[in-house]
Structure 1
Amino acid sequence: MIVALLHRLSEKLPRVVHRLSVMMKPQVVFVLGGPGAGKGTQCARIVENYSYTHLSAGDLLREERSRSGSEFGQLIETYIKEGKIVPVEITINLLKKAMEETMKADEKKFRFLIDGFPRNQDNLQGWNTVMDGKADVKFVLFFDCGNEVCIDRCLERGKSSGRTDDNRESLEKRIQTYLQSTRPIIEQYEKQGKVRTIDASRSVDEVFADVKNILEKEG
């Protein structure tokens, strides 16, 4: 009986070790969509209701830009104003650092919403190179929204956000960058069956109802 019990335990041990190793690895959901699609708003709702930590690539870059003594501050400022994508090395370094600090502070916080990344092929290649084997991308949450709706929302947000890129000229550049660079990334993940698309042109509550269905289905 003892031998049989030990045998069963030895069979289960590799699976338990595997589960623990997966748990210790960041579990990532990429959150993508055009500027103004509501990514930040929906991520805030998800954090309130589910055990996810929200990391916004844009927010991390803006924080780094304004951080006293940052060697990348001026470079980030220039890229953001032009509606261009910041070099991947900077963005991934900030994301990796934020995940490590979160998990170090609380080992139960290993699920992350990464908002606004990857935004182009260079971002994706950089992620795969740096994070290969160190994080699991579960799926992409894609907030699909028409360009004009996105621009109108950002212009309204710009009245109080203080963001230098919430103006029509920057927004039109950002929309073009999104269409040319980010949409192909979403299409790549679609081919892998990893995209969950939501119509983001509706009200916040309607959109979040769909988000809840997806998260509960995905577990």
Structure 2
Amino acid sequence: MGTVVETPVKEADATVTVKKPTVVFVLGGPGSGKGTQCANIVEHFGYTHLSAGDLLRAEIKSGSENGTMIQNMIKEGKIVPSEVTIKLLQKAMEESGNDKFLIDGFPRNEENRAAFEAVTKIEPEFVLFFDCSEEEMERRILNRNQGREDDNVETIRKRFKVFLESSLPVVQYYEAKGKVRKVIFCSPIFILVIMF
């Protein structure tokens, strides 16, 4: 009789293509309207809004050692280390169940930008940049009365200075790549039209 030879059964290609999330960085000075407009975009386009500032404030409230360090840096108007913010963003992205994100208030500087792209292997689809005068931003922040510790004139002015020195180069980097959509007039309808 013949000999039976067992041949291994090839399974279907086990390579799974993982779709990278769509990320839009939302940048602008403090009080430029980022959070307000992100809420409109979420409502109409199904994005998940991740505010780097909100994630950092939540970490502060947790009472962790990390939270204390973050609180001290925010009081000084300084930028929190990239790895701290990126870990918080990655965790929030994983927990959201979505694949479309508005990342508000990050990256704050070139080092943040390079670290985010290196760690996550994600480059933003584009950057939504809110261009607003310092006078208008200060007026908005002082009128919003959210009870935030960093909503006082001295800290606001430190935050403006940090934004101009550190964050504008990020906007310029992406502008050179043709990835910046600038918003000067902050009407909700206008935002939705230029966004998509």
TM-score by length of 2: 0.89
Match of 1:163 in 2: 148
Q: Is the 8 A contact 2:49 2:104 kept in 1?
A: yes
Which structure 2 residues correspond to residues 88-167 of structure 1 after superposition, within 5 A? 88-103=82-97, 109-132=98-121, 135-157=122-144, 159=145, 161-167=146-152
How far has the Cα of 1:54 moved from its partner? 0.2
Identity %: 52
Shift of 1:210: 2.0
Is residue 2:55 matched to residue 1:60?
A: yes
The aligned counterpart of 1:6 is none
Number of aligned pairs?
182
Q: Aligned to 2:24, which of 29, 46, 60?
A: 29
**Aligned AA (1:213):** V
- Structure 2 counterpart of 1:198, one-letter code: V
Indicate if the aligned counterparts of 2:117 and 2:123 stay in contact, CA closer than 8 A. Answer: no
Alpha-carbon displacement from aligned partner over 1:44-99 (angstroms, at most 9, x marks no partner): 1111111100000000000001114x220110000111111001110000001100
Cα contact 1:82–1:170 (8 A) shared by 2: yes
In structure 2, the partner of 1:13 is none
Q: Deviations over 1:12-38 (max 9, x none)?
A: xxxxx99x64xx321100000000000
Does the 8 Å CA contact 1:39/1:115 hold for their aligned counterparts? yes
- Given the alignment of the two structures, is residue 86 of structure 1 paired with residue 76 of structure 2, yes or no? no
Gaps of 5+ in 2: 1-14
Give the secondary-structure state (helix, strand or coil) at the position aligned to 1:166. Answer: coil
CA deviations on 1:87-122 (whole Å, 9 max, x unpaired) are: 11100000011001112xxxxx20000000001011
> Equivalent residue for 2:6?
none
Greater per-residue helix proportion: 1
Q: Which runs of 5+ in 1 are unaligned?
A: 1-16, 104-108
- Are the equivalent residues in 2 in contact too, given 1:26–1:136 (CA < 8 A)? no
Give me the whole-angstrom Cα distance separating, in 2, the residues matched to 1:44 and 1:193.
25
C-alpha distance in 1 between matches for 2:32 and 2:195:
19
Q: Distance in 2 between matches of 1:30 and 1:199?
A: 16
User: What SS is found at the alignment partner of 2:135?
Assistant: helix
Q: Deviations over 1:124-176 (max 9, x none)?
A: 121122011xx34100000100011001110111x3x1100000000000000
What is the TM-score when the length of structure 1 is the normalising length? 0.79
